[in-house]
Chain A
Amino acid sequence: MNDATLLHRQIHPDFVQAGTITSQVFRLTPKDKGRLSVYDGDQITADEAWRHYTSELGYPSCGVMAVSVGECKALGLSVESDPARYPEHAVIIFEGLRGSALKRKSDALTVAADNRGWQYRAGESVA
């Protein structure tokens, strides 16, 4: 991975309204333990990541958005490869962040992803 590497994040269907995603897309849940799962865009394309997530893992997703490693680092967030789950698995690390600081980082990543646009949308081709 390098700063230009895209990190693909799956979008739950309920996390989109009127074409806009929620900042919860890049928010931790308790089981994340401070490490947000993404797909390493150097190893897998967005549509392949979607197929893996929905078919292999069996989770719902309406598409894929992405942030870059550089964008994470600019926010003070480190990124690591974590192939123990599956080879393309990576994590954005939010260690030590809580409350408003955590929400701001999540929002900043969401804005970056939204500005980049959909990398893959289920049922559509993305130009």
Chain B
Amino acid sequence: MSGAGFIQLRLTGPRFEDGQIPLEFLGDLAALREMIIDVARWRFLQENPGRHRVPKGFAESVSLNLAGVEKGSAAPIIPYVERAMDSVVDAISSTGSDEGADVGLEPSHLAHFSRVGRGLKDGEAMEFGFPGRRPARLTQETRHRLLSKATANGIINREARYDVEFRGNQLVEANEVSLLDPLDVSARLEEFKNMKNGWFEGDGIAPSPDGLDWLASEFKRQYADDAPSPRLYPTFEGGVQAEWSFGSNAIVLEIDLSERTADWFWFDRDSDAEEERRLNLDDGDEWVWLANEVRSKAGTE
């Protein structure tokens, strides 16, 4: 266990003899952060079986630099992050010494190695370690062993977002690897930014990027993290429609991004029962009401 200590990162090889880390490896560091957050998220959910999502802002609250976990990181999350770092280092070490070793990480975590260490050439290595521990060396060979474990276990599934390159059935490269909750609100709303006016049969207004940013921010800030996530879709009028479905209970929330209001419509598919309401999404109490109603209809309140 690293405690709140340092991560030692060193690049070895002729290119790095002056002790500097080239700018091109900044992407590797960003990918390393993503991997650690992924593993930390996984551990959190494993150890909190009553939770279906990590706390809001989990990723954003993690601040890593080469000196370790920064003091600004949220205190309850630090233990998961530190153990995630241990897991990553152990995975590298065990694979380096034993190709067939069980690395103790999910294949989806291992897929991050498509970016971490991508810039390494033959004869070069990234060394990760903590004070008092023998460093783990990530070489191209180790990296490919880790990636082959990800492929062998079939990491690709419909709910993951990968941009990958295969040779045969071997995962070789990925330009971007990011495994998200399939109902991740921010990611879904970000997708809508690619839309253009006329998106539906030559008509249809694209949602405004500013409006999407506002909605993503409000969902993260105001919508209870233990309430079921909605499915989100663009509307013809340039808004966003949130939908939930729990058996006979159907909920449709039509969100007007410019007015910051939403029309709530719940109905029971098996009866005439229904309710309509206009919500002011600038009012925090309305978000509380929304989460309570969704939980109630889901039977999880």
Contacts and interface: CB of A to CB of B under 8 A. Distances in A.
A and B interact physically: yes
Interface of A: 12, 14-15, 17-20, 22-24, 29-31, 57, 59-60, 100, 103-104, 107-108, 111
B42 interface: no
Contacts of A31: 201, 203
A14 B252 contact: no
Given A12-B200, A24-B236, A103-B267, 18 more contacts: A14-B192, A14-B233, A17-B182, A17-B183, A17-B231, A17-B232, A18-B182, A22-B231, A23-B243, A29-B201, A31-B201, A31-B203, A100-B267, A100-B276, A103-B265, A107-B250, A107-B252, A107-B269
Contact of B236 (A17, A29, A100): A29
Which among B183, B201, B267, B276 has the greatest number of chain A C-beta atoms within 10 A?
Answer: B201
A26 B39 CA distance: 41
A108 B159 CA distance: 26
A24 B267 contact: no
Contact of A100 (B188, B201, B243, B274): B274
B209 interface: no
A1 to B, nearest CB: 23
Nearest to B158: A19
Interface residues of B, number: 29
Given A12-B200, A14-B233, A108 B269 contact: yes
B241 interface: yes
A17 B274 contact: no
B79 interface: no
A-side interface mostly: helix
B234 interface: yes
A18 B269 contact: no
B235 interface: yes
Contacts of B199: 12, 14, 60
Given A24-B235, A107-B250, A59 B201 contact: yes
Interface in B250-300: 250, 252, 265, 267, 269, 274, 276
Contact of A22 (B188, B192, B241, B274): B241
B30 to A, nearest CB: 27
Given A31-B203, A107-B250, A17 B233 contact: yes
B267 A104 contact: yes
Given A22-B241, A24-B241, A15 B265 contact: no
Interface string B171-202: 00000000000110000100110010001111
A24 B254 CA distance: 11
A57 B276 CA distance: 37
Contacts of A111: 269
B267 A14 contact: no
A104 B200 CA distance: 22
Contacts of A23: 243, 250, 252
28 contacts: A12-B199, A14-B192, A14-B195, A14-B199, A14-B233, A14-B234, A15-B233, A17-B232, A17-B233, A18-B159, A18-B183, A18-B231, A22-B233, A22-B241, A23-B250, A23-B252, A24-B233, A24-B235, A24-B236, A29-B203, A30-B203, A57-B201, A59-B202, A100-B267, A103-B267, A104-B274, A107-B267, A108-B269
